Amino acid sequence: MVSPQLVWVAFFAPLVACVLITLFFLKCKTSSSLIAIAGILTSFICSCLVFTQIFQSNPPAQLQQSLPWIHLDTLTINFGFLMNPLAIMMLLIVTGVGSAIFIYSRGYMDEDPSSPRFFAFLSLFAFSMIGIVLSNNFIQLFIFWELVGLSSYLLIGFWYAKPSAADAGVKAFMVNRLSDFGFLCGIILLWSLSDIGAGRSFQFTDLMNVVPHLAPHMLTIVALLLFCGVIGKSAQVPLHVWLIDAMEGPTPVSALIHAATMVAAGIYLLARTFFIFAPSTTALTFIAYTGAITSLMAAILAVAENDIKRILAYSTLSQLGLMVMALGLGGPMQGMYHLTTHAFFKALLFLGAGSVIYALHHEQNIWNMHGLLKKMPITGITFLVGTLALSGIFPLSGFWSKDAILGLAFANNSTLYLIAALASGLTAFYMGRLFWVVFWGDSPVHRRRANEHEVQESPAVMTIPLIFLAILSAIGGFIGIPHFLFPQQAPEELNLKVALISSVIALLGLGFSYLIYGKRTEADPLVTKLGGFYTVLQNKFYFDIVYGWYVNTIQQTLAICLARFEKEFIVRFCVGGVTNLARSGGKTFRYLQNGLVQFYALIFILGAILLFLFLMLIK
């Protein structure tokens, strides 16, 4: 049976690491990194043990344990975990990929003087993410949701002295906060409706029994509000704007948070609480279309990017859109499958990009990199594996998971299938573009600092995680992930027609990109070919400009109005008015004390008469 102690250790190990680093080791670089790695590895080992325990029995075991936390008359909130196959798979991804990235960042951040702070924040993030994975009720989930947002803000703005990084952190936090408002509304609405005789509850297991009793339109509203949280956290249109600027953070942060785990938290939420969304077709359609639009739009925008991390960020956006679309089509298994394989190859791609950036001393523009395959073979080959997996080439893991989604779309909704297929083709195109420009070619020349020391392969502490992730990306399709995620569901058959079509599209995309970018060029030839449309792409479809205008004019005016109202009315009129009233009252009334004793006697007798009249009237 599943032992709860292992789960609690896996839960709190990274928090212990974070606290230790913050309290004692903020000056030592080596100790802080080792403590952080120890924390996440402990969680990983415990997760592996729990995994074996769960799948020892058939059907797989499930465990829920809660500690009482808040117990009022009408409000009960517990703190606990719900361990089932879905949770343990997600936990394995988070801790496994997380361990690889922690080890990698030991090498990447060793030149940075404030790396202990980095490892403390990273451990805090790991704790929050594990909290989201394991939570068994909405309020606890929301707490860790916000904590993850906080860790993301801290890590994006890690180099806070750089204004663009600080701004990017604030932007990420604000956009997430906006979506979390809708999320919280949905949580509370669901809670208020959840009384079917045993009192209201936030727990998932209780809500599973509540959902069949809800009115359909209320359920749709709840589902859409909960989806608001997903829109923000998993960066769907229209709240996708933060993810691109989040690349200001160090590359391990981008790999861990903005590729593999945090942005996947939205998908995980949808899968975990899919029983809320499943009965409502309106909500599911909305979700599917949002995902599809995000996927296509991100793929189009990636074509016009020149920063290696931003291209990868757009590809993350596109794949997240695909996952959300899969969930909207009623396929949590397909969505989670793609999430798992995506975690592998996206982390791999980001770490590879980090390796390139590190070797070129923080150069990020792809037009300043060329022909690195010869000089950095391990990075180059693993990057190639990642690119092929992302494009969906047989037999890598990406092929299986993406085809599961495309097969689902083909069977249910042809518009969505077309959009998804187009996005996949564009994915292959721009990833090919990236690979040819950065790694292909004969003579490695980089523009800036031509006399710097030779470009060389990154140290082993960085390449070993790359190799590990590359192996996972390659064999990911064959280890039977869907079976572990949703053991009750029968495995999906591979739709041969869809598989063939998608492979052809991918190969076309790669080939097309080779045609344009295979030979070494000075600048992007697409700029001239697309002309005006390219400017639109460069402005990212004007989302940032519109949002910026809105915040600067409408929101600021509103804020200024409210501030003025508060200052004038509340402070000067109400509060100041009370004091003025007291002061002027006092000034008037002090003339009653004029020192004439007979006047006092008069008032005295007047009072006595009034009292007497009052008593007479009462009679």
Tell me if residue 544 falls in helix, strand or coil.
helix
Phi, psi of 591, deg, nearest 5 = -70, -10
Which is closer to another protein, CB of 558 or CB of 609? Answer: 609
Structure tokens at 364: 């990020």
Strands 76-83 and 63-71, bridge-based pairing: antiparallel
How far out from the chain centre does Cα 179 lie?
A: 11
With H, G, I as helix, E, B as strand and everything else as coil, classify residue 82.
strand
CB of 570 to another protein, least distance (A): 33
523 or 617: CB nearest another protein: 617
**Minimum CB distance to another protein smaller for 453 or for 590:** 590
Length of the chain: 619
Nearer to another protein, 68 or 607 (CB): 607
Comparing CB distances to another protein, the nearer of 531 and 586 is 586
Neighbours of 281 (CB within 10 A): 12
Q: How far apart are CA 421 and CA 409, in angstroms?
A: 10
Q: Give every CB contact of residue 592 below 8 A, 6+ residues apart in sequence.
A: 603
Token pair in block for residue 14: 């990274």
Nearer to another protein, 113 or 586 (CB): 586
Question: Measured between alpha carbons, how far is 120 from 39 in angstroms, rounded to an integer?
Answer: 11
Cβ distance to another protein smaller for residue 58 or 598: 598
Whole-number minimum distance, CB 592 to another protein, in Å? Answer: 9
Least Å distance between CB 609 and another protein?
5
Strand blocks (E) in 423-536: none
CB of 596 to another protein, least distance (A): 5
Q: What is the CA angle 465-165-163, rounded to 5?
A: 150
> Shortest distance, CB of residue 618 to another protein, whole angstroms?
13
For another protein, which is the closer residue by CB, 443 or 598? 598
Residue 55's φ and ψ, nearest 5 degrees, are -90, 10
| Shortest reach from residue 579's CB to another protein, in Å | 20
| CB of 583 vs another protein, minimal distance in Å | 14
Supply the minimum distance, in Å, between the C-beta of residue 591 and another protein.
8
The tokens for 530 are: 């697309």
Is the Cβ of residue 453 or residue 591 nearer to another protein in the bound state?
591
Identify which of residues 528 and 594 has a Cβ nearer to another protein in the complex: 594
Distances 480 to 118, 401, 526 between C-alpha atoms, Å:
35, 11, 41
CA 520 – CA 431 distance, rounded (Å): 16
Closer Cβ to another protein, 450 or 615, answer by number: 615
| Residues at the site binding another protein, with contacts judged by CB under 8 A | 590-591, 593-599, 601-602, 605-606, 609, 612-613, 616
Identify whether the C-beta of residue 54 lies closer than 8 Å to the C-beta of residue 484. no
Q: Do residues 328 and 284 make contact, with C-beta atoms less than 8 angstroms apart? A: yes
**Min dist. Cβ of residue 597 to another protein (A):** 7
Closest approach, Cβ 600 to another protein, in A, equals 8
Name the residue nearer to another protein (CB basis): 362 or 590: 590
CA distance 333 to 86: 9
Residue 143 CB, shortest distance to another protein, in Å, is 59
Q: What angle do CA 367, 369, 372 make, to 5 degrees?
A: 145
Residue 595, exposed/middle/buried by CB under 10 A (0-12, 13-18, 19+)?
Answer: exposed
Q: Least distance from C-beta 584 to another protein, angstroms?
A: 15
For tokens 């399709």, name the residue: 477
CA–CA distance, 123 with 610 (Å, rounded to integer): 76
Contact 63, 427 (CB under 8 A): no
Q: How far apart are CB 580 and another protein at their closest, in Å?
A: 19
- Going by C-beta distance under 8 Å and a sequence separation of 6 or more, which residues neighbour residue 347? 97, 100, 101, 255, 256, 259, 260, 469
C-alpha 415/C-alpha 236 separation (Å) is 19
Query: Quick one: 528 or 588, whose CB is closer to another protein?
Result: 588
* Residues pairing with 76 in the sheet: 71
70 sits in which H/E element = strand 63-71
Q: How far is the CB of 585 from another protein (least distance, A)?
A: 14
Distance, in Å, from the CA atom of 372 to the CA atom of 446, rounded to the nearest integer, reads 10
Taking the least distance from each CB to another protein, the nearer of 523 and 596 is: 596
